[in-house]
Each structure stands twice: as structure tokens, then as C-alpha cells.
Amino acid sequence: MLTYATVVALILAALIAVQSFLAAVFIARLRRAPVAPLSDSACPKAALIICVRGRDSTLADCLNAALKQDYPDYALHIIVDSKTDPAWPLVEKLVAANPDIPCTVQVLTNPLTSCSLKCSSLIQGISKLDTSYEVVALLDTDIIPHRSWLRDMVAPLTDPKVGATTGNRWFAPSPPSWPNLYRYAWNAAAIVLMYWLGIAWGGSMAIKRSVINEGHVLSDWSRTYGEDTAINPALRRLGLRLEFVSSALITERGSCDVSQFLNWVTRQLLSCRLHHQGWKLVLLHGMASCVALGLAVLLVLAGLVLGYTDMLVLTGTALAVFFLALFCLLIILELSIRGSSCLRNRAARSVLQPVTTCKLMLAVVLTQALYAYVLFKAATARTVEWRRARYEILEGGRIRLVEYCPFPDSTAPIITKAFCTSAPRGS
């Protein structure tokens, strides 16, 4: 039994060593000098596309920030799910109040059944752009970009070897409820892994128009659940790379409950499973962690019941060191990100408050347990729900929209999970 405990302890040590190395390189990347800002004359014409379905609490702030970007030649294109969407009146009002920025508001007219509603909106919006646009930038409605966000996202695209750029989100667990801390801890680890595997995040992304055209991106998106993870095949076909933009690491506030956290993580992992070549590594890393931790807990219990003191001490110490190391890595990431120049919107309070820090230590442990559940769920899922639309997962990473209804024309929060229609026909 002591031999088993030694093997498990070595596996946990190896996992920590790997994760520490990955985090160290990511932190070094954060500290690297950013690409020099583009002069106004060097900025290519850009289309900023925002897909809207439902009235998020951050929608007004997001659109206001999008309409006030420090960028000389861009236009905002907003695709709203339907005219009955509760966001429609707000979108019209904000656009009318900002006549200086060219802005087009469209309604999604033909949602395809072979891709997500967001992909349908992006296909429609990009298809209507004229040839003068050299860059397409994407922004989610739960993100509030700083004024130089678009300029920062476009700057690396001047490199002929870069085909797309991506930022990411850094959650601010406010209030520091348990589900918010779970999301904060999981997302911090996910950011590092996304950087290493070259996984884009569609909430803050920019793509060369030539990549969209020559890489047949719209065709890929017509059969896609997640537009971000599906950008990599086009980049590989063209021999281009995805560039992480540290200044586009944006604080995201808001709150969630346990169910919302689990569903959110499942969707992130599912998108990787369906469209990204790094899924096998994500799955292998997750399974190794879950199995090693599960065996360690069993060995600790066996040591307690059977009185194997040596095994109990060894395995218990290995578990304690593992979780302490994870906690320390999380704190180092927090300090590094807030101590660098990358996190522009610092309005959110740091998680490093005495009471919150104590809760976070336990949240790191519980997040690992929840991760085992969502990893299994994402690996075996046959259906998925996203913003009151249900998708069926088919063979070969394909999906099918099976149930969908536009949001009602109401400013009240959408809380029902009922669906009212079957999906419209589409290619």
C-alpha cells in the first residue's frame, strides 16, 4: 500500500511541476513589452461585430465602450437575435445617441440549424461587409473594453505571420460567493492552458479579413458550435498563428450560482472537444488530475481505517502540498496580472482580501472536485443548451439546432428554461 501512496504522491508532484512551469511562462508573457501601438495612418479599416441575444446587465456599458474606441477608422455592426428581443430598444437608443460612429443594426434573419445562433449572426454580419474592411473584431456583450482595446487587438495583425489575435477574461469574484470563487479559480487555470494550446476566446478576438476569405472561415462556422475554437483550422491551413494580446485581458464582473457555473464550464470544454486539436491534451490533463486526486483521497481514507500511519502521512502530505501549491499559483497569477500593465479596467476589487482569501483556499479544493464532474459531462454530452437554445451533438463534431425561440419583448429578467418552437430550417 505504501508503494501505491508513493506513486500517487509522485504523480501529484509531477502535475504541480508541470502546472508551475506553464504558469511561469504565461506570467513571463504578461510581462513582455506589448506590440507598439499603431499610428492612426497605419490602422486598417475594421469592423467591430457584436452579437446580441438577451439584455445582459452589462449590455449598455459594452455598447457605450464599443462606440467610444480610440480607433480612427472602424464601424460597429450589431446583430440582434430578433426585434422582440429585450435588448432591441436599448440598442436603438444607444446607437441613436452616438451618431459620430458608423453603426449598423441588423436582425438575425435566417438562423442555420447546423451551427450556433452566434455563428449564424457572425456569418450574416460578415457576409454583408464590403471589401474595404481589412479586419473583423468580435466582442461579447458581457465584456466592457477599454478605449484602446481595438487598437491593441489590431496591432499584432501587422505581422504577416499572425492571422488572428485574442484576449481573455479575468473574473472578479464580486461578491465572493462560493460559485463566484469556483469560477474565478477555474478560469485562472483555464487562461494559462488556453495560452499554451493556442485556444482563442471569441469574447475578445480580431481576425484578418484575408484569413476569413482564404481560410473559408464562414464555411467552417456554418458547421460550428464555438466560433473561437473553430478559428484554428483556418489558421493552420494558411500557416498562420494566433497571437495572445495581454492588454486585452479584461476584468469581468457579475455573479453566478453553482448550476450556472457548471453549465458555463461544460460549454467551454465542449467547444474545445468539438473543434480544437488540443482537446485530447485537455482531457488527458483533467483525467490525470482527477484520477490522482481520487486515488489519494481513497488512500487517506484507507490509512485512517486500517491504521497505516506511513501511508496516511505520505498521501495526506502530498494532498496538502498539491492544493497549497495550486493556491499559491493562483495568488501569484492574481498578483502578476494586477501588477502588470495588461489589466486595464481595474475597477473590480482584488480577491486578496483576508476573509475572501481564506474562502479561496477551500474553493480551490472544491473546484477540483467539481471539475471532475464537468469534464465527464463535456466529454459525454449529447445535447447542450446555450441562451435558451438547445443543440444536438452529432458525429464528427457537428451540431444541430433543435429548439429555439426569440426572447420576449420584455425588460424583465429571463428566467424560464422553456422552449417555444422547433428550429427553423437552414443549411
C-alpha cell of residue 338: 494586477
CA dist list (Å): 279 to 225, 283, 284: 15, 6, 8
H-assigned helices in 201-278: 209-214, 217-221, 232-238, 258-275
3-class DSSP assignment, residue 191: helix
Q: What's the confidence (pLDDT) of residue 64?
A: 94
Residue 336 Cα to chain centre, angstroms: 20
Cα 379 from Cα 389, distance rounded (Å) = 20
Q: What's the confidence (pLDDT) of residue 192?
A: 95
Those residues whose C-beta lies under 8 Å from the C-beta of residue 351, and which sit 6 or more positions away, are 172, 173, 176, 181, 184, 334, 357, 360
Cα 195 from Cα 198, distance rounded (Å) = 5
Q: What's the confidence (pLDDT) of residue 156?
A: 95
Cα 309 from Cα 302, distance rounded (Å) = 10
C-alpha cell of residue 86: 429585450
pLDDT under 50: residue ranges of the chain: 346-347, 410-427
Q: What's the confidence (pLDDT) of residue 415?
A: 35
Residue (of 323, 350, 348) closest to 336 by Cα position: 350
pLDDT tens for each residue of 114-153:
999 999 999 999 999 999 999 999 999 988 999 999 999 9
Residue (of 197, 180, 171) closest to 334 by Cα position: 171
Residue (of 290, 312, 317) closest to 301 by Cα position: 312
* Residue-range domains of the chain with CATH: 48-257 (3.90.550.10)
Q: For the whole model, what pTM was predicted?
A: 0.89
C-alpha cell of residue 219: 464555411
Q: What's the confidence (pLDDT) of residue 252?
A: 83
H-assigned helices in 276-408: 279-306, 309-339, 354-380
Angle at alpha carbon of residue 68, lines to 64 and 71, rounded to 5°: 145
Q: What's the confidence (pLDDT) of residue 72?
A: 94
| Residues paired with residue 241 on neighbouring β-strands, in sequence order | 162
pLDDT tens for each residue of 325-359:
999 999 999 888 876 655 555 445 566 777 788 89
C-alpha cell of residue 331: 495568488
Q: What's the confidence (pLDDT) of residue 425?
A: 41
H-assigned helices in 307-349: 309-339
Cα 392 from Cα 399, distance rounded (Å) = 6
